[in-house]
Amino acid sequence: MKKLRGNTPPVPSVEWAYFLDVDGTLIDIADTPDAVEVDTVLPDLIERLYHASGGAVALVSGRSISDLEHHLGMLHLPLAGQHGLERRDVAGRLWIHTAPPDAKCAIKEALLPILARHPGLLLEDKGLTLALHYR
């Protein structure tokens, strides 16, 4: 591995794979999860990188895959949603890992009093996961 000098990134290699984080990296954090704004050129840039790298690109997010598709368009590349509980592979197959629904319900119920005391908190139910947002 080459040592970096200053802030100069290494020269890209055809042997690299790109796992790109979405929220807070490709898309700026917004006041609420639904208020994100996607730069109109972003989906095209991702698609171009996907083809230039021979398909060695995947997006990773805490969002669900359907939410990623809603905000980014129907990109046909591997995706990991809900922190890896949902994964779509290069062939388009969807893999879903679920936890017992009772566990999520118990966590959600335990958070209700905290949400009532702190109006700046937002509990987002993503289906397989819960996210507690604060600003």
**Catalytic residue IDs:** 21
Residue 67's closest CA among 125, 116, 134, 9? Answer: 125
User: Which stretches does DSSP call E strand in 4-125?
Assistant: 18-21, 57-60, 79-81, 86-88, 94-96, 121-125
Q: Which residue has the tokens 């984080």?
A: 21
